[in-house]
Amino acid sequence: MFRRLSTDTFNWILIVGVILFVIEIAFFHGGMIVSAIFSGFLVYIGWKKFTQLWGKILFWLGIVGLVFAILNMLAVRFLILAAIVIFLINYSKSKQEAEHIQPELPHDVVDVDKVIQLEPLFDHNIFGDQHTPNASYQWRDVNIHGVFGDRTIDLSNTVLPNDTAVISIRQMVGNIIIYVPYEVELSVHHSSVFGRVHILGKHHWKLMNQSLLYQTENYDTTFPRVKVVTSLFSGDIEVRRI
């Protein structure tokens, strides 16, 4: 979106944003900036004491206060409005300039591929928990996203393909638990803003806006193997052998 933005336009947006920031400090006694600094201090203290209940409460109160304080700044409101206007303008231009390509195929080429629709192992679930069946089930690669809820996947009740099985989960808030048989090689790529990680004996108790990548020693050369890609805003992930 911003690649089409000229340098002059970007400079004007930046200048206006800085002016609004200065006006808020000079004429509104700091405006929401003081609230943002105070909320940031609460977040810092809460994160330091996150293992205790009052630390968790302080942390989340600070997060909520910080978000509201930032969104109520004049400069931030202006930048959000400018970004929306630029997006709408560029989207309108891209629709007008879209190039339509019609492939030309030889007359003797016939589409003979047969496509079979299969039922996915999980459906997209915005709210609520999901887990694999307790009885044996047929494996399907997992590619889901959600907002709230826990996800539990037990690979001991299925037969994995003799190549790479894929598990991709994108979640806002919730926990992920994956049980992997001992004879299966594993690769885990996890990213999280807040949370904890327990992967085959490796522990990270305070993950904050980080990405982690773990894989077993023979993952690149041995089958079957499972590739796990997960993304959480806030929550824990646990991957263990079973």
Between the alpha carbon of residue 236 and those of residues 65, 175, 206, the distances in Å are 24, 5, 10
pLDDT tens for each residue of 118-151:
777 777 777 777 888 888 888 889 998 888 888 9
pTM of the model: 0.57
Residue-by-residue DSSP string for 128-167: S-EE--SS------EEEEEEE--EEEEGGGS---SSEEEE
What tokens appear for 118 in the block?
A: 């299969």
pLDDT, averaged across the chain: 82
| Of 49-58, 81-90, 168-177, 206-215, minimum mean pLDDT range | 81-90
Question: H helices of the chain, where?
Answer: 7-27, 33-48, 53-71, 74-96
Contact (CB, 8 A) for 135 and 196: no
Between the alpha carbon of residue 169 and those of residues 13, 148, 231, 242, the distances in Å are 37, 12, 6, 21
Q: What are phi and psi of 26, to 5 degrees?
A: -75, -40
Q: What is the pLDDT of residue 106?
A: 63
Give strand pairing partners of 69. none
Model confidence at 35, pLDDT cuts 50, 70, 90, reads confident
pLDDT tens for each residue of 47-106:
888 888 888 888 888 888 888 888 777 777 777 888 788 778 777 776 666 555 666 666
Which of 71, 47, 60 is CA-nearest to residue 207? Answer: 47
Question: Where are the chain's structural domains?
Answer: 2-96, 130-241
Give strand pairing partners of 48. none
The pLDDT of residue 205 is above 70:
yes
| Residue with the larger pLDDT of the pair 79 and 195 | 195
Q: What is the pLDDT of residue 178?
A: 94
